[in-house]
Every structure is written in C-alpha cells, then in structure tokens.
Amino acid sequence: MTIIDQIRKDYRQMSQVERRIADIILADPQKVPNMTIAHLADQAHVSEGSVVNFSDRLGVRGFSALKIGLAREMNTLSGLSFGSVTSRDGPWEAFQKVVGNAVDTFQKLGAALRPEEFTQAAELLMSARRVDIYGAGDSALMAQDAYFHFMRIGLPAYAVTDYLTYSIAASQLDSGCVALAISHSGQTIEIIDAVAAAKKRGAATICITSYAGSTLSGLCDLALVTRSGEAEQHEEAAVSRLAHLLVLDSLCAYISAQRGPEMVERLEQVELQLGRHRYRR
C-alpha cells in the first residue's frame, strides 16, 4: 500500500489535526517532497511535532522519510534541496536548472528588497560597536563568511553559530550593538530567541530571510527579505543561499567603499598577512 493509499484509508479515523495535515498532502502530493516541516505545519495550522507524529502514524520514520516515500510514489524523486532537479535529469540538465533558478532569484531580488531598509541596515552596521551574526545549519556557513568579510573591512563582527551560545552572546549586547540574523525560513527557534534577547537589551536587530511573514522578520527592526522560487514553493534552501550571500556581499562592498583611503591601507595589511601565511605553507 502506498503512502497516499494509507492516508486515504485511515482518513476517517484521523483526528482533526491529522486531517489538516492529510488534506495538504492529498491536495498536491508532488509539492510535499520539497516542503520543509515548518511550512507544511504552517499551511496545516499545526505544530511541527504533529507532522512528525503524523509520519509515525503512517509507519515511516519522521518527515524526511515521508517526503522521500512520496517522491518515489509520484516518480518525481528530486534533489530534495534543489527543487526542479529530478532523478530523470542528467548532470548538465541539473546544472542548467540550478543556474536558471539562481538567475530567476537574482532578478527578483532587486524588486524584493526595500532600498530604504537596505540603506538603514548598512548605516547601522557601519556605526555599530559590535555586530553579532547568528546562523544555524546552512546559514551558519553564511554567518562565518560574513564574519570574515566584515572583519576584513574593519567591522567589529563576531559569528555566533553554536546553539548553546546564541542567547549567551545576545545577552552581552546593548544599544550600541547590532544583532544580524540569517535564516532561510525565519522560524529557527534558537535564532528567534537570540534576536529577542538582543532586542530586549536594546540592540538593533536585522535579519536576512526568504519569508516576509516569518516570526523572525516580524521580530526584527529591519527585515531584508529575498524572493525565490524556493520560497514561493516552500522548498528547502538552496538557491536562496546565493541571494542571502549577495545581500551580505553588497553590504560589505558598500561599507568598504565608504571607508575610502583607510580601507586601502587596511586591505593592504590583510593581504600582507595572508601572503605570509601562504608562503609558510
């Protein structure tokens, strides 16, 4: 018996919460393999735990197993983090699809961002006494990348990517500091808690996310919201990472340009140190 058949068979015996999840899946089972657990839960108006319990009821171990099972049944097994790429595509077709997704995302990015908010974000970063950059999972890598580039141009930046230290770091901020959070979904609980703690301390809060209606975007003083096909289809982050990196690199480029001659000297010193490191190796 397929997963879809199992859902239909058990539907009448399901609770109201389970039926809401089942309705989302039955309405368009081909979309579910590319949805995150957070967005399926949001569409069904249930908790993420309810989605996990629903998967267990069907005899599959967790939501990831449910997605893979549905993808196989629909014959649309895809690179689950890369939406439009399916098992029927060759390597070159996969490359072309990912490039196409990236181009589409970049074209939408300019229309999605609000110039005045982007400007305010740059000004806050330039004047901050300390900038904490929060990121988890894939976003942790972007937080580390932003930390390196911000530090390179002289911003007092710190990457905070460990779940146990988010709120501890945020509790050290004050009104002269900035908390910059990076999150595709905008629903990561630990990141939300850290930003809330930073805000309570009086720090300015900025987020880079793919969802305007997320908890994180509603919490932050400034939400730099990108747009992508992934976000529109509630898929896992893949190309969206590129949009977030583009926002971070643009902020870095602007701040660097504003610092003029001082930045030339700083970058020369950075290159000197990097050169010494290369020669040692």
Tens of pLDDT along 85-114? 776 788 898 888 888 888 888 888 888 888
Domains 3-73 and 99-280 share a fold: no
**pLDDT of 233 higher than 60:** no
**Residue 36 confidence (pLDDT):** 82
Q: How far apart are CA 67 and CA 276, in angstroms?
A: 49
**Residue 23 confidence (pLDDT):** 94
**pLDDT of 263 higher than 80:** no
Q: Is 99-280 a domain of CATH 3.40.50.10490?
A: yes
Helix, strand, coil tally for the chain in percent (to 5) = 60, 10, 30
Percentage of residues in the chain having pLDDT higher than 70: 84
Domain at 3-73: CATH code: 1.10.10.10
Q: How confident is the model at residue 34 (pLDDT cuts 50, 70, 90)?
A: confident
- The two tokens of residue 263 are 């930045």
Q: Are 90 and 98 in contact (CB under 8 A)?
A: no
**Residue 274 confidence (pLDDT):** 60
**Residue 78 confidence (pLDDT):** 47
* Element at 69 (helix H, strand E): helix 62-73
Q: How confident is the model at residue 239 (pLDDT cuts 50, 70, 90)?
A: confident
The pLDDT of 238-266, averaged and rounded, is 83
DSSP string, 9-45: HHGGGS-HHHHHHHHHHHH-TTTGGGS-HHHHHHHHT
Instruction: Compute CA distances 14 → 7, 38, 69, 98, 101, whole Å.
Output: 9, 21, 20, 39, 38
The pLDDT of 117-138, averaged and rounded, is 95
CB within 8 Å of 159: residues ≥ 6 apart: 133, 135, 140, 143, 144, 146, 147
**pLDDT of 79 higher than 50:** no
Domain residue spans in the chain? 3-73, 99-280
CB within 8 Å of 125: residues ≥ 6 apart: 131, 150, 155, 178, 180, 206, 251, 255
**Residue 77 confidence (pLDDT):** 46
Q: How far apart are CA 281 and CA 145, in angstroms?
A: 22
- Would the pTM count as exceeding 0.85? no
**Residue 280 confidence (pLDDT):** 56
Place of tokens 């994180």: 216
Average per-residue pLDDT for the chain = 85
Who has greater pLDDT, 201 or 69?
201
